[in-house]
């Protein structure tokens, strides 16, 4: 690791250089134009933009938008080490928490101690999902790939044999976070079924 005269700045630059690797982590979802797979850095940017755009649909008292943006920007950094776990991969979720906790310790540990503690706390807040900000952030994190699947005619759903009840189960944070967005999700799922993007079948678990 290259070092600079200011040791604090050196650690911050090292962290930012490491964070750049998130651009190489590919997700299962395609870009909305269907041209290629999305990477996780693009996903993080997109859900942050969604938070700014859709914040008005959070019920009162509204979650603090600045904190929501912080949660969304840091929560997937662990995928640099842990990789992206497909939402419907049951076996992948067996050790997901362990893999991501180890990644968080290493990646956030590159920062000066005060910033490492701050980002670790943000990451843990998102994972715990108990604050209004974490709940709204999680809702958008679930909604974004839903939109991508719909806009690509159900690409990932079809590829993995996913049915409507499985998708709806993944959308639980949205139903808790925003009645308006929950209403939109129901309409989108029905349209997806009507258009053949998604199967309205049984809810037996499928693995990706």
H-type alpha helices, the chain:
7-19, 40-54, 65-74, 79-82, 96-108, 113-128, 132-151, 155-160, 164-170, 172-177, 179-194
Mean pLDDT score of the chain: 91
Q: Which pTM does this prediction carry?
A: 0.89
Check pLDDT > 90 for residue 78: yes
| Dihedral angle sign, alpha carbons of residues 184, 137, 158, 35 | positive
Among the ranges given (79-83, 97-101, 155-159, 202-206), the one the predictor scored with the smallest mean pLDDT: 202-206
Cα–Cα distance for residue pair 108/86, rounded to 1 Å = 23
Cα 58–Cα 62–Cα 65 angle in degrees, nearest 5: 95
Task: Give the confidence band of 74 by pLDDT, cuts at 50, 70, 90.
Answer: very high
Calculate mean pLDDT across residues 171-192.
96
* From 19-23, 53-57, 83-87, 155-159, the region with the lowest mean pLDDT: 83-87
Tell whether the model's pLDDT for residue 171 goes beyond 80.
yes
Instruction: Tell whether the model's pLDDT for residue 16 goes beyond 90.
Output: yes
Confidence label for 6 from pLDDT (cuts 50, 70 and 90): confident
pLDDT of residue 207: 36
Q: What is the pLDDT of residue 85?
A: 64
Q: For residues 124 and 121, give the distance between their C-alpha atoms in angstroms, rounded to a whole number.
A: 5
Tell me the mean pLDDT in the region 102-111: 97
Helix axes 40-54, 65-74, angle to 10 degrees: 170
Residue in the structure block whose two tokens are 């990477």 = 39
């Amino acid at each position: 690791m290259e070092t600079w005269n200011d040791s604090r700045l050196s650690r911050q630059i090292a962290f930012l250089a490491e964070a750049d690797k998130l651009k190489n982590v590919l997700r299962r979802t395609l870009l909305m134009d269907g041209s290629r797979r999305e990477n996780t850095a693009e996903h993080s940017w997109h859900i942050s933009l969604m938070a700014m755009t859709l914040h008005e649909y959070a019920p009162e008292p509204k979650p603090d938008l600045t904190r929501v943006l912080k949660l969304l920007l840091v929560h997937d950094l662990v995928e640099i080490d842990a990789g992206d776990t497909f939402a419907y991969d049951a076996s992948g979720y067996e050790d997901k928490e362990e893999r991501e906790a180890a990644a968080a310790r290493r990646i956030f540990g590159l920062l000066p101690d005060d910033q490492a503690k701050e980002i670790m706390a943000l990451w843990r807040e998102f994972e715990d999902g108990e604050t209004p900000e974490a709940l709204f952030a999680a809702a958008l994190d679930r909604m974004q790939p839903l939109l991508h699947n719909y806009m690509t005619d159900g690409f990932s759903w079809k590829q993995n044999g996913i049915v409507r009840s499985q998708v709806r189960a993944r959308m639980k944070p949205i139903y808790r976070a925003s009645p308006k967005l929950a209403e939109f999700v129901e309409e989108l799922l029905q349209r997806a079924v009507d258009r053949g993007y998604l199967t309205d079948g049984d809810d037996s678990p499928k693995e990706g």
